[in-house]
A = this chain, B = another copy of it.
Amino acid sequence: MADIAFRRAMRADIPAIVAMLADDPLGATREDLSTPGAPAYQDAFSAIDADPNQFLAVMTLDGAVVGTLQLTFIAGLSRKGALRGQIEAVRVAAGHRSEGLGQRLFEWAIAECRARGCRTVQLTTDKSRADAHRFYDRLGFEASHIGYKLTL
């Protein structure tokens, strides 16, 4: 029986996380794999790790990192002062897709949002990710919004 666990990412996990971010049709064009642990990733990790409202998570299978996502807890006045949990940068390692690990990762993430007192969990996904859309539909998410991005 494989042992699945979830924990806060450590600095030593950066290369494994960046490799998963890059191993993706969209991510491949965005990441720098030439020097895993490049300064830009180190600095971003420091900023995430220092922020109590950020939780960069890894999922491990028998101790090896096989998934990641980032939770951001956003306080706001809207909806009677509701806390939101936002999920970004979701990946399951290529060799472990279609094994139900994505669902385990999301069940964990949603439980974590609930434990923190979030009243909403939100995420956006590129319009081209049809498989992801079916996955979020199955999990009970509602595709109620349009996600806009402006590159600076």
Contact = CB atoms under 8 A, between A and B. Distances in A.
A1 interface: no
The number of times this chain is found in the oligomer is 2
A14 B149 contact: no
Nearest to A41: B81
Nearest to A31: B80
Contacts of A114: 152
B140 A150 contact: yes
Interface residues of A, number: 65
Interface in A74-127: 74-83, 86, 88-89, 110, 113-114, 118-127
B148 A145 contact: yes
Interface in A20-74: 21, 27, 30-32, 38, 40-45, 47-48, 51, 53-54, 56, 70, 72, 74
8 contacts: A38-B80, A47-B83, A48-B76, A70-B76, A70-B77, A144-B148, A145-B146, A146-B147
Q: Which 9 A-B pairs have the closest CB atoms?
A: A145-B147, A44-B81, A47-B75, A141-B148, A40-B81, A124-B145, A121-B150, A147-B147, A78-B89
